[in-house]
């Protein structure tokens, strides 16, 4: 005879990640960004969650939301060892001012750097290989212990994201969460102003999109905000994306 479920019983989540993602999108489809973030961090169907942050031009929005909801949420910050000093200072200052208590700096293994980029010049002749070595591989290793990670991807960024959901299947065991999927540029600006959030110091110097120092340049008025990234190159990767747990090339108009 099956006994009735008691209040303290733990109801197992579906093992099929596609089912879980569909359930989550149906459950939260009418929620605002902050509510999606709040519920995702506490929903057993989501599991163990990390926020991946570059501490770039718009990163402070999600960082602030996490600080209000659950400041102990793991925040993964990839230090490529080629970032602007301003980014490193901003990361330290924002983490402290927001009270984030579990910021993890992710760095490539020294053995890999010694083998593949011993003199630090790989970016000069193979930017894709440099990003893979210093960014995508270390992050994938750091994400291996999580069921989901929070991204800043938004529908307005590209036509291919026009139907972006709050929750996505990334691998058979991990999902992406996009709390800002429905936000526009004006929403980001309004949130930063209303909450008096500190801006990355390079934004005021003409850097609307900020990556590694050797591969980022100022943007002139009227130029695309991302035109300063890998300027003059046929570089297509603009963010960190995985399929089946492996880094993949992502075209500019679909990047995070």
CATH of the domain at 245: 3.40.50.620
Among the listed residues 130, 131, 212, 238, the single catalytic one is 238
d(CA 35, CA 39): 6
For the purposes of burial, counting CB atoms within 10 Å of the CB of 122, is it exposed (0-12), middle (13-18) or buried (19 or more)?
A: buried
pLDDT value at residue 182: 85
The predicted model scores a pTM of: 0.83
Note the pLDDT of residue 222. Answer: 81
Q: Compare 202 and 156 and report the one with higher pLDDT.
A: 202
The reported pLDDT for the residue numbered 66 is 96
Domain count, the chain: 1
CA angle (132 as vertex; 134, 123 as ends), nearest 5: 70
Q: Please, what's the b/e burial string for 150-173 (b: 16 or more CB within 10 A of its CB; e: otherwise)?
A: bbbbbbbbeeebeebbbbbbbeee
Residue 231: pLDDT over 60: yes
Look at residue 202 in the predicted model and tell me its pLDDT. Answer: 96
**Would you state the structure tokens that stand for residue 246, as one six-digit string?**
């492996």
Q: Which domain holds residue 92?
A: 17-199+237-254
pLDDT of 3 > 80? The answer is no
Strand, helix or coil at 231? coil
Going by pLDDT thresholds of 50, 70 and 90, the confidence category of residue 74 is very high
Active site residue 131: no
Nearest to 211 by CA among 170, 252, 245: 252
Residue 142, CB-side half-sphere exposure with 13 Å CA sphere: 26
Mean pLDDT of the chain: 84
Residue 40 belongs to a domain:
yes
Query: Does residue 213 belong to any structural domain of this protein?
Result: no
- pLDDT of 102 reads 98
């Amino acid at each position: 005879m099956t006994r009735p479920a008691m209040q303290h019983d733990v109801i197992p989540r579906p093992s099929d990640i596609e089912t879980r993602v569909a359930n989550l999108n149906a459950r939260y489809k009418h929620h605002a960004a902050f509510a999606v973030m709040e519920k995702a961090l506490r929903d057993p169907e989501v599991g163990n969650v990390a926020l991946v942050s570059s501490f770039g031009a718009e990163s402070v929005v999600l960082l602030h939301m996490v600080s209000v909801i659950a400041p102990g949420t793991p925040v993964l910050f990839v230090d490529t060892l080629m970032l602007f000093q301003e980014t490193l200072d901003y990361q330290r200052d924002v983490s402290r001012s927001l009270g984030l208590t579990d910021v993890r700096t992710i760095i490539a293994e020294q053995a890999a750097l010694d083998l593949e980029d011993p003199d630090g010049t790989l970016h000069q002749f193979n930017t894709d290989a440099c990003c893979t070595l210093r960014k995508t591989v270390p992050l994938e290793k750091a994400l291996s212990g999580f069921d989901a990670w929070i991204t800043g991807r938004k529908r307005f960024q590209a036509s291919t994201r026009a139907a972006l959901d709050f929750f996505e299947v990334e691998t058979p065991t991990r999902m992406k969460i996009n709390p800002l999927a429905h936000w526009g540029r004006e929403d980001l600006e309004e949130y930063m102003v209303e909450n008096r959030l500190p801006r990355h110091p390079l934004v005021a110097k003409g850097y609307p999109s900020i990556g590694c120092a050797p591969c980022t340049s100022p943007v002139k008025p009227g130029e695309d905000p991302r035109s300063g990234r890998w300027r003059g190159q046929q570089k297509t990767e603009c963010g960190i994306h995985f399929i089946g747990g492996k880094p993949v090339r992502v075209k500019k108009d679909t990047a995070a």
